[in-house]
Structure 1
Amino acid sequence: MVASSLISTNFLFSSPLFPPRSPIRKLTIVSLHKIPTPSSSHVKPHKRSLLPCRPLCPPCLNKLLLTTRNPFSFALDSLLILCTSLALSLSLLVADVDSASAFVVTPQRKLQTDELATVRLFQENTPSVVYITNLAARQDAFTLDVFEVPQGSGSGFVWDKGGNIVTNYHVIRGASDLRVTLADQSTFDAKVVGFDQDKDVAVLHVDAPKDKLRPIPIGVSADLLVGQKVFAIGNPFGLDHTLTTGVISGLRREISSAATGRPIQDVIQTDAAINPGNSGGPLLDSAGSLIGINTAIYSPSGASSGVGFSIPVDTVNGIVDQLVKFGKVTRPILGIKFAPDQSVEQLGVSGVLVLDAPANGPAGKAGLLPTKRDSYGRLILGDIITSVNGKKVTNGSDLYRILDQCHVGDKVIVEVLRGDQKEKIPVVLEPKADES
């Protein structure tokens, strides 16, 4: 652009369309150089010529041409020069744009196929993930006023259009009030629909408009494979939605419930980072379907860089259905209290030692004997359960695993070691007393 302006300026100022301030009215021009005179004194001075010098010098010749040409030819030349300058300016302008685009580097977001799939998965499933705040009632020691303070937080996800939110039980444990924040930052008060302490699952309900609720796609966890990519979405440390990626590093793991200590079977193990606040959030497969609930992390160092565990969606599905329909989970029990596994191992036997069997419970009604002391204070061991329905029982986890496959009202054959003899006792399973 600068070059074009200079060129056009030079053309215009050399054009007759722009004459000098003092136009030449006569052709008589005083030359800037000295006029040569003959050295001989006898030569008579000639009559003054219209041109100051012979032969013509370049300045005089230029002025002669400018004053002797046809005015029409001046206008034509000026028009030609003007068109040429405009064409040259336009060409330089286009050339400048092309050269600028050639030298200025503009970053282009060229993502790989797997990156695009991850970005799309996060954008499509983030509206289904919510932030849960656990509020507890506290009383001021001086004023005795009762107020609510946040005692914890976690994640959850929308289960259906009815406003049901699924999360971990330990996220809402001990709460006097709960609040759920959706992806659009709208907050609603939540009430507890039901919970399962044994499997660390809880269902909340919010009265939110249906257009704000986007249920998460439900997948299947029975056909998962080690090495499969997984994605965890949550609100760690109270931040906005975050995404961590990893693979399934193990299947059919077993962890204990944080509330009751009862084992949770078939847990998914992953190396995707599950930080504080991710609890209750979804674990997704590469298709964006729910395959588990992020519930715990095992880290010997105490950092959030250990092994993460997720409750499989097949287990969660049945629990949520019962909680939504009945507000409780009717899980069968034997109605016993048993000794820790380490105590039984010290006795040199394999099985579950019955410490207590209430008379109004299933085991007490069937006649299982608890551990007690005689009149002299000596310890008399109770029955030791060795198998249920022909399935071997070596510890408490085996017993829970077998009972999880049964239903309330089923009759099971319990084989026990009583003294030196084995006996088979039929027992009718019943629900927990507080769930009846």
Structure 2
Amino acid sequence: MKEGKQADWKKFAATGAAAFCLGLGVQSSIVAPHSNVLPTVKDAALSSSKPANSFVESDSALEPSEVRTINLFRENTPSVVFISTFTERQDFFTLDMEEIPQGTGSGFVWDKEGHIVTNFHVIRSANSAQVALSDAKGKQTLYKATLTGVDPDKDIAVLKIEAPPAALRPIDVGTSADLLVGQTALAIGNPFGLDHSLTIGVVSGLGRETKSPTGRPISNVIQTDAAINPGNSGGALLNSQGKLIGMNTAIFSPSGANSGVGFAIPVDTIKYVVKKLITDGSQITRPVIGISFLDSEQTRGLGLPQGVLVLDVPKGSPAAQAGLRGTVRTFRGIEVGDIIVGLDSVDIRKEGDLFAALEPHKPGDVVELRVKRGTEDGKERRREEVSRTRSDFAI
């Protein structure tokens, strides 16, 4: 496979931070664990204390299902890595640049070329990273990682380490197309900065939607009740055969605590994005129309009709060229902007519908937006055509 160009750590650290500021406000919290947080409660997890190739034989003291789970864990721990990220700071006295620990996370070995897959939010604000790789006996070796590419909209990043092929154990990649609610799900990662740990649950939901660090929704997400704690981000979600079905990415917790429903990016999405990043490098470009908008829940709270309320239309954006109007404050009060209710033949009820309708297109395509304009008694208009080109104002 053709090697892509090495990405720039500083470029994507800045991009990620800016994109995160564009995220939508929500009443509940999405906790995307990546920082090195000390545990306050004991996590019910299985930790590896024997070499990874020391498999358990059938034993009367253990149930067959337990033996299978223990062996599956030990077989896959060399494929799951521990990632430490760093930021740069200039020493006040010597003016030398020094690396400051920024956070930790998990990842997994993708191929024998040394590509490591993790979450974008794990390395989002980092200037550098190192990967701890375990050998067959459980001994860890540290490797400095370079950044191959990122896809913030899908919360996926690809790193690369210069490790001997014999030391690399690529994870066994499965599929997420045939998953069923109720089947076993096993999450392997490094929660709280601890050594490889295993939590077990089931696939508790399919086709879920969560937000990426850019605020753009990630669709077809796997929901699981396998515990996902800080440091688990970027780790592997496996099925009962030990095949990768997803990448642990976040937990949903109304209280903001690190407990609740876990989410994982499906492996079929990962396969497509990782292949593009390794081949083309840098960053995947998606079409935008160049607006900022109000969260659909907040829009409904204002008593406005279904659709995406346009808050701002930056000057020079494709949306501005098409004549879309944003929401403005006047001496009479708030003047509501256009409400997008359709893109081509697709009805738009919330922002997720808008992103889904844009997904099949590429930058430069022309689409037709249907909007309701408050200044014209809510009359639906069809004359706005938007030519989507690459813009700094991503919705």
Query: Normalised by the size of structure 1, how large is the TM-score?
Result: 0.69
Aligned residues of 2:181 and 2:204 also touching (Cα < 8 A): yes
Matched, 1:423 2:381: yes
Aligned residues of 1:169 and 1:196 also touching (Cα < 8 A): yes
Question: Which structure has more strand as a fraction of its residues?
Answer: 2
Aligned residues of 2:291 and 2:314 also touching (Cα < 8 A): yes
Give the CA deviation at 1:328: 0.9
Give the CA deviation at 1:139: 4.1
C-alpha distance in 2 between matches for 1:372 and 1:114: 62
2:28 aligned residue: none
Q: Within 5 A, what are the aligned runs for 1:16-415?
A: 109-110=59-60, 111-140=62-91, 145-184=96-135, 185-257=140-212, 259-300=213-254, 304-326=258-280, 327-345=282-300, 346-372=302-328, 379-415=334-370
Aligned residues of 1:273 and 1:304 also touching (Cα < 8 A): no
Aligned residues of 2:290 and 2:393 also touching (Cα < 8 A): no
Amino acid at match of 1:283: L
Give the CA deviation at 1:195: 1.3
2:146 match: secondary structure: strand
C-alpha distance in 1 between matches for 2:65 and 2:71: 10
C-alpha distance in 2 between matches for 1:143 and 1:302: 41
Amino acid at match of 2:316: N
C-alpha distance in 1 between matches for 2:257 and 2:264: 18
1:198 match: secondary structure: helix
Give the CA deviation at 1:343: 4.8
Amino acid at match of 2:387: V
Percent identical: 53
Aligned residues of 1:410 and 1:428 also touching (Cα < 8 A): yes
5+ residue gaps, structure 2 = 1-57
Tell me: CA distance 1:373–1:279, structure 2 relative to 1, closer, same or farther (3 Å).
Answer: closer
Q: 1:123-149 CA distances to partner (integer Å, 9 max, x unpaired)?
A: 222111111001122345566554222
Amino acid at match of 1:371: T
Aligned residues of 1:198 and 1:263 also touching (Cα < 8 A): yes
1:29 aligned residue: none
C-alpha distance in 1 between matches for 2:158 and 2:393: 18
Amino acid at match of 1:217: D
1:92 aligned residue: none
Tell me: CA distance 1:352–1:434, structure 2 relative to 1, closer, same or farther (3 Å).
Answer: closer
Give the CA deviation at 1:392: 1.9
1:182 match: secondary structure: strand
Amino acid at match of 2:126: A
C-alpha distance in 2 between matches for 1:361 and 1:160: 40
Q: 1:113-169 CA distances to partner (integer Å, 9 max, x unpaired)?
A: 322322232222211111100112234556655422222111100111221111011
Aligned residues of 1:331 and 1:432 also touching (Cα < 8 A): no
Q: 1:400-426 CA distances to partner (integer Å, 9 max, x unpaired)?
A: 222223333333221111223211233
Give the CA deviation at 1:373: 5.4
C-alpha distance in 2 between matches for 1:286 and 1:360: 52
Give the CA deviation at 1:196: 1.8
Give the CA deviation at 1:341: 2.8
C-alpha distance in 2 between matches for 1:344 and 1:300: 20
C-alpha distance in 2 between matches for 1:321 and 1:434: 26
Tell me: CA distance 1:344–1:204, structure 2 relative to 1, closer, same or farther (3 Å).
Answer: same
Question: Which structure has more helix as a fraction of its residues?
Answer: 1
C-alpha distance in 1 between matches for 2:325 and 2:264: 38
C-alpha distance in 1 between matches for 2:253 and 2:371: 38
Tell me: CA distance 1:304–1:338, structure 2 relative to 1, closer, same or farther (3 Å).
Answer: closer
Give the CA deviation at 1:359: 4.6
Amino acid at match of 2:134: A
Amino acid at match of 2:267: V
Aligned residues of 1:330 and 1:432 also touching (Cα < 8 A): no
Taking CA–CA contacts closer than 8 Å with sequence separation of 6 or more, which of the two structures ends up with the larger relative contact order?
Answer: 2
5+ residue gaps, structure 1 = 1-107
1:95 aligned residue: none
Amino acid at match of 2:59: R
Tell me: CA distance 1:262–1:232, structure 2 relative to 1, closer, same or farther (3 Å).
Answer: same
Note the aligned Cα RMSD (angstroms): 2.5
Query: Normalised by the size of structure 2, how large is the TM-score?
Result: 0.76
Q: Radius of gyration: which is bigger?
A: 1
C-alpha distance in 1 between matches for 2:347 and 2:240: 38
C-alpha distance in 2 between matches for 1:322 and 1:433: 22
2:9 aligned residue: none
C-alpha distance in 2 between matches for 1:390 and 1:363: 18
Give the CA deviation at 1:377: 6.2
